Amino acid sequence: MRDLPPLHTLPAFEAAARLGSFLAAADALHLTPSAISHRIRQLEAHLGQALFERRHRAVVLTAAGRRYLAVVRDALLRLDEASAALRTPQRERVRISAAPALGSKWLVSRVADYQESHPNLEFSLGTATGLGPLLNGEADIGLRYGEEEWPGLLAWKLFEERVFPVCSPTLAAKLKTPQDLDQVRLLRHPLLSWQRWFAAAGVRHPEPSTGPNYEDALLMLEAAVAGHGVALMAGTLAAPYLAEGRLIRPFPQDCPDRSFYVVAPPAVQEKPAIMAFIRWLLRP
């Protein structure tokens, strides 16, 4: 550090080299041409050699000037980037991949609430049903419906679910007992078992093999609202529709099923901000 040049001379040198003119450098740095000329002479005196060839209304770098410019430009760029980072602290990002229905009906409002008290945290929300986004590094946190085992991932149970049939008010008026479901279309989801619910209702009935099969629970809920059939649905996802009266429970029977989990790659344990958000989601 003992042989540093006067630091104020370096922006003048870089601007003159970039623009090929002391006059243009003066305009760019809001200085007078004589101030630019003085700073260049001061830098050249410090280095003991010329950095420019002076020509009529223009300057051209010498061989030494070209070598020196590469170093100076890199140093100024690094200083600029470091200063910008300090002036505007980096916002930590949380990438969430949620099952579509849970994301739209449960998660979105909670993210908004959390960000009110954590304004420097940036959230990115996407929807998916598989584990690909978590296993390939595209997401930090996932909200998924399933069993207890999540190979390759950490998992925290968000809440347990009970499932039951829901349908439109018009269709509900036609259903008196669970046996009446034989006369209507049953909407299916690969993670929800009609057979298990029928058993809880005291009815011997195999798993339906016909009727639309929805991978997205939100689409199935909307199909039920439209009167396209009776949907077997997790209580958390059905709750907003029931509260609005768009769907009705035709029967009181329900049964336990899988649970919703927060799942994440093990590396999330090294990210305090994300772990704090997970703990907040899990609070009672």
Query: Could you give all domains of the chain from N- to C-terminal order, each with its CATH number?
Result: 9-87 (1.10.10.10), 94-159+260-282 (3.40.190.10), 160-256 (3.40.190.10)
User: For 212-252, what is each residue's pLDDT tens digit?
Assistant: 999 889 999 999 999 999 999 999 999 999 999 999 999 99
pLDDT band at 55 (very low <50, low <70, confident <90, very high): confident
Asked whether the predicted pLDDT for residue 82 surpasses 90, the reply is: no
Is residue 36 within 8 A of residue 18, CB to CB? The reply is no
pTM: 0.63
Please give the C-alpha separations between residue 121 and each of 88, 235, 273, in angstroms, as whole numbers: 13, 31, 8
Q: Is 249 helix (H, G, I), strand (E, B) or coil?
A: coil
Question: Hey, what are 148's tokens?
Answer: 């207890």
The pLDDT of residue 193: 92
- Cα(247)–Cα(261) distance, integer angstroms: 25
The pLDDT of residue 243: 95
User: For 262-271, what is each residue's pLDDT tens digit?
Assistant: 999 999 999 9
Asked whether the predicted pLDDT for residue 2 surpasses 80, the reply is: no
User: For 161-177, what is each residue's pLDDT tens digit?
Assistant: 999 999 999 999 999 99
User: For 9-34, what is each residue's pLDDT tens digit?
Assistant: 999 999 999 999 999 999 999 999 99
pLDDT band at 199 (very low <50, low <70, confident <90, very high): very high
Is residue 128 within 8 A of residue 97, CB to CB? The reply is yes
Please give the C-alpha separations between residue 262 and each of 4, 97, 193, 268, 276, in angstroms, as whole numbers: 54, 10, 22, 12, 13
- Cα(73)–Cα(24) distance, integer angstroms: 18
The pLDDT of residue 149: 86
More confident residue, 212 or 89: 212
pLDDT band at 160 (very low <50, low <70, confident <90, very high): confident
pLDDT band at 189 (very low <50, low <70, confident <90, very high): very high
